[in-house]
Chain A
Amino acid sequence: AQKITQTQPGMFVQEKEAVTLDCTYDTSDPSYGLFWYKQPSSGEMIFLIYQGSYDQQNATEGRYSLNFQKARKSANLVISASQLGDSAMYFCAMREATISSGSARQLTFGSGTQLTVLP
Chain B
Amino acid sequence: DAEITQSPRHKITETGRQVTLACHQTWNHNNMFWYRQDLGHGLRLIHYSYGVQDTNKGEVSDGYSVSRSNTEDLPLTLESAASSQTSVYFCASSEFRTAVGTEAFFGQGTRLTVV
Interface-lining segment among A14-22, A63-71, A73-81, A91-99? A91-99
Report the bound CA distance from A47 to B56 in whole Å.
Answer: 24
A45 to chain B: which residues have CB within 8 Å? 90, 92, 106, 109
Report the bound CA distance from A53 to B98 in whole Å.
Answer: 13
The reply to whether B108 and A106 contact each other, CB–CB distance below 8 Å, is no
Q: How many CB-defined contacts (below 8 Å) exist between A and B?
A: 65
Asked whether any CB of chain A lies closer than 8 Å to the CB of B104, the reply is: yes
Report the bound CA distance from A31 to B100 in whole Å.
Answer: 8
B88 to chain A: which residues have CB within 8 Å? 43
The reply to whether A105 and B106 contact each other, CB–CB distance below 8 Å, is no
In the complex, which residue of chain A has the Cβ closest to the Cβ of B48?
A: A106
A91 to chain B: which residues have CB within 8 Å? 42-43
The reply to whether B101 and A50 contact each other, CB–CB distance below 8 Å, is yes
A105 to chain B: which residues have CB within 8 Å? 31, 48, 50, 94, 96, 99
